[in-house]
Amino acid sequence: MDRYIRKILEANVYEVAEQSPLELAPIISTRLNRRILLKREDLQPIFSFKVRGAFNKIRKLVTEPDHIGVITASAGNHAQGVALAAAKLGSKAVIVMGKNTPGIKVDAVNALGAKVILTGESYDEAAEVARRMSSEQGYTYVHPFDDEDVIAGQGTIGMEIMRQCREPIDAIFVPVGGGGLIAGIAAYVKYLRPAIRIIGVEAQGSACMTAALKAGKRVSLKKEELDQFADGTAVRQVGKHGFEIARQCIDQMITVTVDQICAAIKDIFEDTRVVTEPAGALALAGVKHYLEQSKAPSSAASLVAVVSGANVNFDRLRHISERSEAGEKRELLLGVTIPEQPGSFQRFCKLLGKQHVTEFNYRYRDKEHARLLVGIQSAGRSDQNARLKEKITRHYPVVDLSSNEVAALHVRHMGGGPVEGLANERLYRFEFPERPGALLKFLTVLGRQYNITLFHYRNHGAAFGRVLIGIQVPNGAVSRFRADLRSIGYRYWEETGNPACELFLTNSH
Cβ–Cβ under 8 Å, residues 150 and 180:
yes
What's the pLDDT at 425? 87
Cβ–Cβ under 8 Å, residues 362 and 345:
yes
Query: How many Å apart are CA 94 and CA 96, to the nearest integer?
Result: 7
What's the pLDDT at 337? 92
Examine the residue annotation and report whether 206 is marked as an active-site residue of this protein. Answer: no
Query: How many Å apart are CA 359 and CA 412, to the nearest integer?
Result: 8
Cβ–Cβ under 8 Å, residues 459 and 314:
no
Sheet (strand 425-433) strand order: 451-458, 464-472, 425-433, 491-494
What's the pLDDT at 121? 66
Mean pLDDT by 10 residues, the chain (509 residues): 93 95 97 95 95 96 93 89 95 88 80 90 80 94 95 97 95 96 97 96 94 95 80 88 95 94 95 95 97 77 96 82 71 88 81 78 78 77 77 93 85 73 85 75 78 78 76 88 88 90 75
Q: Where in the chain is the domain with CATH 3.30.70.260?
A: 329-403
The residues, any chain, with a CB within 8 Å of residue 83's CB and separated by 6 or more, are 93, 95, 109, 112, 113, 114
Closest CA to 395 of 353, 456, 442: 353
Cβ–Cβ under 8 Å, residues 478 and 503:
no
Query: How many Å apart are CA 146 and CA 178, to the nearest integer?
Result: 7
Q: Which of 39, 50, 57, 266 is flagged as catalytic?
A: 50
Query: How many Å apart are CA 317 and CA 139, to the nearest integer?
Result: 37
Rg of the chain over Cα atoms, rounded to whole angstroms, equals 25
Q: Where in the chain is the domain with CATH 3.40.50.1100?
A: 2-48+148-323, 50-141
What's the pLDDT at 381? 56
Closest CA to 506 of 447, 426, 452: 426
The residues, any chain, with a CB within 8 Å of residue 111's CB and separated by 6 or more, are none
CATH code for the structural domain at 417-504: 3.40.1020.10
What's the pLDDT at 27? 96
Q: Which of 74, 134, 308, 324 is flagged as catalytic?
A: 308
Residue 36 identity (one-letter amino acid): I
Q: Which CATH superfamily is domain 329-403 in?
A: ACT domain (3.30.70.260)
What's the pLDDT at 145? 93
Residue 236 identity (one-letter amino acid): R
CATH code for the structural domain at 50-141: 3.40.50.1100
Cβ–Cβ under 8 Å, residues 320 and 349:
no
Examine the residue annotation and report whether 266 is marked as an active-site residue of this protein. Answer: no
CATH code for the structural domain at 2-48+148-323: 3.40.50.1100
What's the pLDDT at 317? 85
Cβ–Cβ under 8 Å, residues 495 and 464:
no
Helix or strand run (H / E) with residue 425: strand 425-433
